[in-house]
Structure 1
Amino acid sequence: MRSPRLRYLAAAAAPLIFLAGCSPESSGDGDDAAATSAPGDDAATSAPPNGDLADIAVDTEGDEPALTWDDEPFSDGDLPFVAAGTQTRTLTEGDGDEVAEGDEVEVQYLAVNGTSGDELVSTFPNDESVTLALGNEALFPAFREGLPGTAVGDELLMAIPASEAFGEAGNPQLGVGPTDTVLFYLAVQNTWEPLTEAQGEEVEPEEGLPTVTMGDAGPEIDVEGVEAPEQLVTQPLIQGERPEVVAGQTIRVHYTGVKLSDGEQFDSSWERGEPTEFPIGVGQVIAGWDEGLVGQPVGSRVLLVVPAEEAYGELPEETEGQTAAPAHELAGEDLVFVVDILGAS
């Protein structure tokens, strides 16, 4: 049975477990990566490779899939399971589209610590999925190199040694020590080429909103006659057809922003010539973006009209005849954005 801690971590950790670059550094205060492994892990540091995926299977009879080792629960096997190098085994061959290099691949997965036998993260209990961007250099090489050539419908087992996963730092957040092999069961659900612009069904916007005209250098936004918003306005202009953005993901977007007061453009990734990436729904961007983009399908083009309090804040109030300098040059401004959501992982 999975612990409440692991259930709590699942949503936040699901995208991160595939990224070597996201592993935390050891704190050096005694509560380091090695402390996350099972008792007796000193032996694991010198344990010879004994891991063979031919001995591992997946039990799908219960409510959730679980790994077995020689037909017994994985945790009852001859732990630690130590792989000398990345291993991949196809359990079921699908008949869907083939995954190409650089694709974005939607998967469900279960991850298990080969040292302790503990389940780390599973997307199956809540019927969730994760999108892996195979063009992301931070993604484990096992996925960037092993998933191209598979097909939608494939079910795979992977064993990835520490040296090819999180390395000597381990990943304390996930409960992975510096010598732990991680095993994955993956079900490939979909695959597609990365988007360069919004793609989906056009949506007729509500009246009274800024008008948007797409040009070669991105959107032109006309704010003439538009009233200041009392609250955030989120208006899809194109409804995407890919999975919805989930808080905690990193999204890839093109965007342009203008001030509602005079229509002056203050930023545009289109003009810079490349999209930008950032975590969403976790307070790393303005509140209007966190609220307005989470839940939108990838592929969408979204018009956001953001009141100042959900952008860069209101102007400071005058106190005893003095006004403090604003924290941001756009403080006090209602803002308008057009955002193409190109990917989320």
Structure 2
Amino acid sequence: MRSPRVRLLAAVAAPIILLTACADDAGDSADSTDDSTTTSAGPDDAATTASVDGDLSQVGVERSDDGEGTEVPTLTYAGEPFPEGDLPFGVAETTVEQVAEGDGEEVAEGQQVTVRYLAVNGTNGEELLSTFPSDDSVVMDLSNPQLLPAFLESLPGQRPGAELIMAMPPGEGFGETGNANLGIGPTDTVIFYVEVVEAVDPLSEAEGTEVDPVEGLPTVEADGSSPASITIPEGEDPPSELVVQPLIEGERDEVEAGQSVTVHYTGVKWSDGEQFDSSLEAGQPFSTVIGAGQVIPGWDEGLVGQPVGSRVLLVVPPDMAYGNNPESELAEETLVFVVDILAAG
């Protein structure tokens, strides 16, 4: 019987606002007009959105200094602060308004798009989340089918510098249950203001600067397209602490706790060097939320802070792997992984 996989410790993806659609699959493809696109609401949403007719063209953006030298946007309705507008605001179909065009190369389907965003609850006008006060950004993977449908359909064809306002009904946003942690109810339309920063092609393997190997650690031969060959040093006892050793140092942004990461990996046992799992053998990259207890602690601790594009050697002692699961075939094993970090956002 095959040994348990890393993914067996992964829970259902956390409700990351830009990455996990809690509703049913999207409806029809976008129909383009000069300044906006619409997609049909999901069937489960018809009862809660049929009577709403919010006018997204009345929604605008104002910018002001937050008192600390950072310019932050807020949404307005008919020129007034959004909470003072015609509430509740709702739409029966996802609607997108273009605020600014941007320039440079167009975003292509399947790319990784860096954005800044502001999200507002259309029912009460309250701000839900914003990356602007902290000058942060979010990477959206347009190859990820769990990305909210409006982003999958509306971001391709945009250019860096583009600004969009999107309104999403529950059926294409957070579904019948909403998201209590974010303050979203089951009938709430969510409005996003989005600025496109840049877009890059996704990685299929590690890409960056090679790092000299460290004596005493497992040696690795990897081509990025087949499972890595990992050789355990003869006569060496496994380390009692987690070892995190970059083999290739990537050049993209560092992985942060709470992000969704996409990786290719190979795992072997220190005891005999036997491979117990590899995403490359399965032919599909593995995605999970990192730093959130959804994978083994050795991954949560070892991958956070590594730049995207890195190839990382992880030597994980049992207490940071499957040691807390005595029924696992790997419970007493020190595990060795080679992980290519392909995306994070």
TM-score range, shorter chain: 0.7 to 0.9
SS at 2:222 equivalent = strand
Uncovered stretches (5+) of structure 2, i.e. residues with no partner: 1-13, 25-46, 67-71
Q: CA 1:300–1:113 in 2, change beyond 3 Å: closer, same or farther?
A: same
Question: What secondary structure does 1:169 align onto?
Answer: coil
1:85 equivalent in alignment to 2:93 = yes
CA drift at 1:56: 1.6
**In the alignment, which residue of structure 2 is the partner of 1:310?**
320
Q: Which amino acid aligns with 2:94?
A: T
Matches within 5 A, 1:196-235: 196-215=204-223, 217-225=226-234, 226-235=236-245
Cα separation, partners in 2 of 1:46 and 1:191, compared to 1, 3 Å: closer
1:51 maps onto 2:54 in alignment: yes
Are 1:334 and 2:334 matched, yes or no? yes
* Deviation per residue, 1:160-197 (Å, 9 max, x gap): 22233223332223222232221101111121222211
Determine the structure 1 residue equivalent to 2:298: 288
SS of alignment partner, residue 202 of structure 2 = coil
Q: Superposed, which structure 2 residues align to 1:1-345 within 5 Å?
A: 15-21=16-22, 48-63=51-66, 64-215=72-223, 217-225=226-234, 226-313=236-323, 326-345=326-345
SS of the aligned residue for 2:228 comes to strand
Structure 1 residues 83 and 260: alpha-carbon distance in aligned structure 2, compared to 1, 3 A threshold = same
Amino acid at match of 1:59: E
Structure 1, unpaired ranges of 5+: 1-11, 24-43, 315-324
* Alignment-derived partner of residue 40 in structure 1: none
Aligned residues: 303
- Paired with 1:181 and 1:161, the residues of 2 have a C-alpha distance of 5
1:82 maps to amino acid: G
Alpha-carbon distance in 1 for matches of 2:209, 2:300: 23
**Distance across 2 between alignment mates of 1:274 and 1:50:** 42
How far 1:202 moved relative to its partner? 1.8
Residue 264 of structure 1 and its aligned partner are, at CA, apart by: 1.8
Q: Matches of 2:192 and 2:202 in 1, distance apart?
A: 24
- What is the Cα deviation at residue 206 of structure 1? 2.6
3-state DSSP class of the match of 1:21?
coil
Query: SS of the counterpart of 1:163?
Result: helix
59-68 or 222-231, larger mean C-alpha shift: 222-231
1:134-163 superposed Cα distances (whole Å, 9 cap, x missing partner)? 222222221111110001121211112223
- Is the 1:114–1:180 contact (alpha carbons within 8 Å) kept by the matching residues of 2? yes
Question: 1:267, 1:223 → 2: CA distance?
Answer: 16
Whether the 8 Å contact between 1:49 and 1:81 is mirrored in structure 2 is yes
CA distance in 2 between partners of 1:330 and 1:54 (Å): 57
Is the contact between residue 67 and residue 73 of structure 1 (CA under 8 Å) also seen in structure 2?
yes
Q: Secondary structure at the match of 1:270?
A: helix
Evaluate the alpha carbon distance shift between residue 117 and residue 239 of structure 1 in structure 2; reply closer, same or farther with a 3 A threshold.
Answer: same
Deviations 1:50-76 (A, max 9, x none): 422322221112222211122221111
Aligned with 1:291: secondary structure? helix
- How far apart, in 1, do the equivalents of 2:298 and 2:327 lie? 17
Shift of 1:265: 1.6
Give the aligned partner of residue 9 of structure 2: none
TM-score (norm 2): 0.81
Deviation for aligned residue 1:78 = 1.3
Q: Percent same amino acid at aligned positions? A: 58
- Asked whether the equivalents of residues 309 and 340 of structure 2 are also in contact (C-alpha less than 8 Å), the reply is yes
Larger Rg: 1
Q: Which amino acid aligns with 1:290?
A: D
Aligned residue type for 2:323: G
Runs of 4+ aligned residues of structure 1 deviating over 4 Å after TM superposition are 44-48
User: Would the aligned equivalents of 1:254 and 1:269 in 2 still touch at CA under 8 Å?
Assistant: yes
> Take 1:57 and 1:76, find their aligned partners in 2: how far apart are those partners?
13
